[in-house]
A and B are shown apart, each in its own frame.
Chain A
Amino acid sequence: MIRIGQFSTPQNSSLYLASRIGLHLRNQKSESLLTLQKRFCASATPGIRTTFTESLLLLFALGKLNFDPETDRLVYHENP
């Protein structure tokens, strides 16, 4: 689950990772999912992959990004 509170660390908190990914995407406007995966979840243990996926779901649910499966690109929206 999304962790926050006394046991959350920057490594396991999806909120934290989501904000990092969000900032990165805002600077890049759009980025391929593959690149994002390499940058934020390359050294993936299962735990980190879970956090990574959760952060994507979080950003998507907030309306901050869209995904185009044809080109494998995530596109960032500042004000959805």
Chain B
Amino acid sequence: MKILKISSDIPSFRSVKFNKNFSIVLGVAKSRGEGKSHNLGKTTLIELIDHILFGSRVSARIKAIKESFQNPVFRVDLLIDGEHRTVIADYSKKKKAAFSTEIKQAYEYFIRFQDDYKDEFRKVSIRGKDLSWKPLLLRLMGFNERPLVEKYEIEATIQDYDKFIEIAASSGMKREGRDEEITQLEARRNELLDAIGNLNFGNIEDSTSAQLASEIDANILSAKKELFIQRKELSAVTEAIRNTAFVEFSAERIEQIYSDLNIYFGDQLKRDLSDVQEFFIQITENRTTALNSMKKRILDRVYSLEEKVSNLNTKRANYLQLIVTPSSIDIYRQLSSQLAETETELSLLKQDIYKESIQTATNERNLLRTQQLTLAAKVATEIDEHDSKFREIKDQYRQIMSEVMDIDSEIDIEKNSTGNLDFRTVSWRDQSPSQELKGEMAKKISCAAFDVALRIVNNDDSGFIIHDGVIDNADKNIKKKFIEAMKRRAIEFDFQYIMTAISDDLPDSVENGDIVITLSDKSEKELLFGKSF
């Protein structure tokens, strides 16, 4: 897929026609110096393309466009398998990506924005855990990613089981012969009640005090009840904060569920897949703020209740002093605390929360662990044995890096003992590892080189690749070598390379035809949208 042209019904919008193989979107600032080549529309152009084709997140810039222009319509002309296709994005209607998730994923590494050059493999746009990006990367590198996906899913389930077992164990359900225990405790409680009943309150002189004391007792009881409820609530909230995701689905799993839903409900479905995915993230991960404020509220309540209870207790003790003998108070204190303990234990025992026994859960978990090891071995075998495509990628990457930066570097997949994969790049100088890839510029070029190597090897669709601001701040020599390297490869392997650049220090080898649009803030007319907003 190549991009031929982007245009809009906004009259002042400057249409851009892209070259078949190599295009530069150029920004020229009114005056030289730092911070002057901004807000011309270079990045906006690329965000628009990303948003229209793949339905990426609505960024601040896209929002600003929607707010500043009334229901804008954009057209993107594409060349797919030799045929023309036009994608029309009408912002007055509901947003829908032009291409499926599969194609979106295939292009994950072919659009890089200015802040995406920190890591070759993990882009800023990739959020979430390893599951959300490592399998995709493996697939693009020509491996079968299935075993890794299954391994991650099994690991997530194992974690769930671990948590479940931990909770079940701590709540005392491992004890057997519960009924017996309940009977014992009930007998104990009755004994305690009897003992309290038999206490010698013979010295009662002031019946009013007795009445007051029992009123306070009622207050204490209700306060304690509420305290108990609030504490349970608190532990539920804390639990929810601790386990941010109470279940983990991969993006694929959600897609599968969604397509199942499509079978059952068809037209009744009101939301599209991306909304559902967003919703899933919200209900599993993004809840911390709400929960924290809830926690704070409950904590405040708990503190005030505790204070109330302790105040009431002091009061009651004062009243009781009037009506019982000193020794009775001590006995009463002792007995009542014992009674409270017994009551708590009884109520815990009677709560039959956990239906499945720990034993079953443990067995299932152990079974899963065996499967996990098998899968880890499978992943390792896959990487060792089917690496023909990956070797090609490594080769292309190394060539670009040595050509542009004169760094001898390679891409490496590291397998650790638990079967986890780490992707990394290593540079060599005089046969020992060097730090050359740590530099900002080297990292940027390395990211770009990795993308292009991936593109070359995955180019069945003669597709495009877009780099935003990759050589801004580079010195002239690197700019020259980089542009030459990209241009030559784009023609040789027939992909479309699009980059944004600022006009400072562009090498002479850039031909006029390479520059598809020049954006400038000399006048409003020369901005992408023909006006500032």
Contact = CB atoms under 8 A, between A and B. Distances in A.
Interface of A: 1-2, 4, 15, 32-34, 37-38, 41-46, 49-50, 52-54, 56-58, 60-63, 67, 69-72, 80
The 4 closest A-B pairs by CB, nearest first: A63-B270, A72-B290, A46-B160, A49-B247
A33 B287 contact: yes
A15 to B, nearest CB: 7
A60 to B, nearest CB: 5
A62 B269 contact: yes
- Interface residue tally on B, bucketed by range: 35 or more
Contacts of A43: 353-355
A69 B286 contact: yes
Interface in B234-292: 236-237, 240, 246-247, 249, 254, 256-258, 260-261, 264-265, 268-271, 275-276, 279-280, 282-284, 286-287, 289-291
Given A62-B265, A67-B282, 5 more contacts: A1-B257, A34-B236, A60-B271, A63-B269, A67-B279
Interface in B280-313: 280, 282-284, 286-287, 289-291, 294
Contacts of B354: 43
A61 B276 contact: yes
Q: Chain B contact residues: over half helix, strand or loop, or mixed?
A: helix
A45 B361 CA distance: 9
A45 B287 CA distance: 21
Contacts of B353: 42-43
A60 B246 contact: no
Nearest to A68: B290
5 contacts: A52-B247, A61-B265, A67-B282, A72-B294, A80-B270
Contacts of B275: 60
Contact of B264 (A15, A71, A72, A80): A15
B354 to A, nearest CB: 6
A49 B283 CA distance: 13
B164 A45 contact: yes
A49 B287 CA distance: 17
Nearest to A54: B257
A72 B286 CA distance: 9
B275 to A, nearest CB: 8
B157 interface: yes
A56 B261 CA distance: 12
B265 to A, nearest CB: 6
Question: Max chain B CB contacts within 10 Å: which of A1, A45, A52?
Answer: A45
Contacts of B291: 34, 72
A4 B264 CA distance: 10
Contacts of A54: 257
A71 B294 CA distance: 9
B161 interface: yes
A70 B289 contact: yes
Given A1-B256, A57-B276, A69 B247 contact: no
